[in-house]
Amino acid sequence: MNRQSHLDPLAIVLMTILSASWGVSQVAIKVANADISPLLQAGLRSAGAAILVLGWSALHGGRLFARDGSLGLGLLIGALFTAEFALIYVGMLFTTASRAVIFVYLAPFVVAIGAHLWIPGERLSGRQVAGLLCAFTGVALAFAEGLRLPTHRELLGDAMATAGAVFWGATTLVIKGSRINQISPDKTLLYQLGVSAIVLLPLSWLLDGPGVAMPGALSLGALAFQTIWVAFVTYLVWFWLIAHYPAAKLSSFSFLTPLCGVLAGAALLGEPVTPLLVAAMSLVGVGIYLVNRVRRGTA
């Protein structure tokens, strides 16, 4: 396999597209929530993407069901993934997409702190600590703005998005720190999608009933975007990128995602972008960049 030591124009373009797609995904969740209950929406997304992963793996000869001792860890990352998306999707009922994307992208900081504590050789540097402080200052500003809003409903959604970020970070830590990182990316993704579909679809029926009230074309389009583009195409492209380019250099692009999410919420949903929200977004974005930026001379 031809592995690059730096990011060429192809990698830069693809990472920009991925970051923008992940930011816009929060808007798509918000749009589909208008017609489809959050848990059902999350379950349908996972089920549809899981079917696509199965088809893709069959095309290139993947062995998703070979016994490799990964079942226990696979079920664990599936459970963490399920909790993450249940919290994010339900939380989007209470807060705006522009606010939610800031809190969801606390996940890189959860990973940085967890790796410092539990994964040998991944101690935080001074630059990363500065990035953490920068991001948490931004989050504090966003929460402070929530306290000034009339209903305080946003605070519940913000808290659920933050909890979702913790579960997302925990999923990444389990993958990074255990032998499950030795199995194929297809299988890792299928564990997460499969478990969440199996849990969320029945749970949505028990809690919400059918959950669909004559969904319109916009809601169905938003669900299709999440299922086909975000959960299937962008994840496969991401796995291809990290197989061919330095993962740390790729991760430094994730600072773009909160920016794209806030801009998409304003442009597509008409959500207000206040000075405090801009400051929060900027601080979180800079923090993500500092935490993931590679030292000069390293891959």
Residue 298 inside a domain? The answer is: no
Residue 132 has pLDDT above 70, yes or no: yes
Coil, strand or helix at 212: strand
Instruction: Please give the C-alpha separations between residue 37 and each of 24, 146, 153, in angstroms, as whole numbers.
Output: 19, 24, 18
Exposure string over 16-28, b if 16+ CB within 10 A, otherwise e? eebbbbbbbbbbb
Segment 221-275, tens digit of pLDDT: 999 999 999 999 998 898 888 878 877 678 778 888 998 999 999 999 999 989 9
Q: Evaluate whether residue 4 is within a structural domain.
A: no
Q: What is the mean pLDDT of residues 197-226?
A: 87
- When the pLDDT of each residue in the chain is averaged and rounded to a whole number, the result is 89
Assigned domain for 147 exists: yes
The pLDDT confidence band at residue 293, using thresholds 50, 70 and 90, is confident
Q: Do residues 113 and 42 lie in contact, with contact meaning Cβ atoms separated by under 8 Å?
A: no
pLDDT of residue 1 exceeding 80, the answer is no
User: Mean per-residue pLDDT for 190-214?
Assistant: 87
Q: Is residue 156 part of a domain?
A: yes
pLDDT digits (tens, 9 = 90+) for 135-186: 999 999 998 887 777 677 889 999 999 999 999 999 989 998 889 988 888 9
Query: Does residue 210 surpass a pLDDT of 70?
Result: no
CB atoms within 10 A of CB 139: 21
CB atoms within 10 A of CB 266: 17
Domain annotation covers residue 208: yes
Q: Does residue 199 carry a pLDDT above 60?
A: yes
Mean pLDDT of 207-211: 72
Quote the pLDDT of residue 269.
94
Domain count along the chain: 1
Q: What DSSP state is assigned to residue 158?
A: H
* Domain around 15: 9-292
299 falls in which pLDDT band (50, 70, 90)? very low
**Residue in the structure block whose two tokens are 């250099």:** 249
Residue 1 lies in a domain: no
- Residue 299 in any domain: the answer is no
23-61 confidence digits (pLDDT tens): 999 999 999 998 999 999 999 999 999 999 999 999 888
Instruction: Indicate whether 119 belongs to any domain.
Output: yes
Which region among 12-26, 83-97, 149-163 has the lowest average model confidence (pLDDT)?
149-163
CA 100, CA 153: separation in Å to the nearest integer? 13
Percent of the chain with pLDDT over 90: 56
Cα–Cα distance, 38 to 47 (Å, whole number): 14
Closest listed residue to residue 243, CA positions, set 190, 280, 287, 188: 188
The answer, yes or no, to whether residue 297 has pLDDT greater than 60, is no
CA distance 126 to 37: 44
**Whole-structure pTM value:** 0.89
**What DSSP string describes 123-148?**
PPPHHHHHHHHHHHHHHHHHHHHHHH
The whole-number pLDDT of residue 3 equals 65
Between 4 and 287, the higher pLDDT residue: 287
Look at residue 213 in the predicted model and tell me its pLDDT.
62
Alpha-carbon distance of 290 to 78, in angstroms, equals 29
Whether 109 and 283 have beta carbons less than 8 Å apart is answered as no
Q: How far apart are CA 237 and CA 248, in angstroms?
A: 16
Name the percent of the chain lying above pLDDT 70.
95
First to last CA, the chain: 17
Could you give the dihedral angle defined by the CA atoms of residues 258, 262, 265 and 266, in that order, rounded to the nearest 10 degrees?
-160
CA distances from 283 to 77, 239, 251 (A): 29, 28, 17
